[in-house]
Amino acid sequence: MQTLDMNDIDLRAVNATLQGATGNDTEFEVLNLRGSHAVAVGLDAPIDVTLHGSAGYYCAGMNKQAKITVKGSVGPGAAENMMSGEVIVNGDASQYAGATGHGGLLVIKGNASSRCGISMKGIDIVVGGNIGHMSAFMAQKGNLVVLGDAGDALGDSLYEARLFVRGSVKSLGADCVEKEMRPEHLDLLADLLSRAGMDAKPKEFRRYGSARELYHFKVDNAGAY
């Protein structure tokens, strides 16, 4: 394992090293983050990176292929525009975690703030705690799993993403409705929980999705636009 200590090298050098990783170097650890922003962004190799400490905004953004583990909490925009791979946050996440993510798995073992999964486009997000308001706003594709509670306006203007919540939902956003939990959804949920290392039973969750009333303009729905 190669160690990168931010007491000795700056952020630019850390990211350059991770982005330039080859087959000879597949495991890295980064020490003394001190809340630095944009750590481990733009990675595009099947490497394993462990970040010791909490990070600022856009940690692990634009990730592709890499497995990134954060031994702390993260600021706004963690795993933003993620394409593939895994990002595991052992603490909490601030606003819009996993925003616009196209693929891969984002695991947040603590709580996530507002707009978690906003405009998600295929990413899978599993949150061990609660999520804030406006989460999954305009979510287009993928799965959001919440073991705790969800705040106001969950799934507002939702497209085809699937939302699974074990706890309570303060309110649903425009065009988001509770849907039947069928056997294929229980199987999907069991797989996501297993991959995320979460101990929960799929039958404890409720599923939410799009009512598909906002796909086309209808004058009767004008107030919801």
Q: Which residues of 130-149 are buried (b: 16+ CB within 10 A; e: fewer)?
A: bbbbbbbbbbbebbbbbbbb
Question: What order do you get walking across the sheet with 176-179 strand by strand?
Answer: 2-5, 27-31, 48-52, 67-71, 86-89, 105-108, 121-127, 141-146, 162-165, 206-210, 176-179
Domain boundaries, the chain: 1-94, 117-215
Which residue intervals of the chain are DSSP H helices?
11-19, 183-196
pTM, 2 dp: 0.94
Per-position pLDDT tens, the chain of length 225:
999 999 999 999 999 999 999 767 899 999 999 999 999 999 999 999 999 999 999 999 999 999 999 999 999 999 999 999 999 999 999 999 999 999 999 999 999 999 999 999 999 999 999 999 999 999 999 999 999 999 999 999 999 999 999 999 999 999 999 999 999 999 999 999 999 999 999 999 999 999 988 766 666 766 765
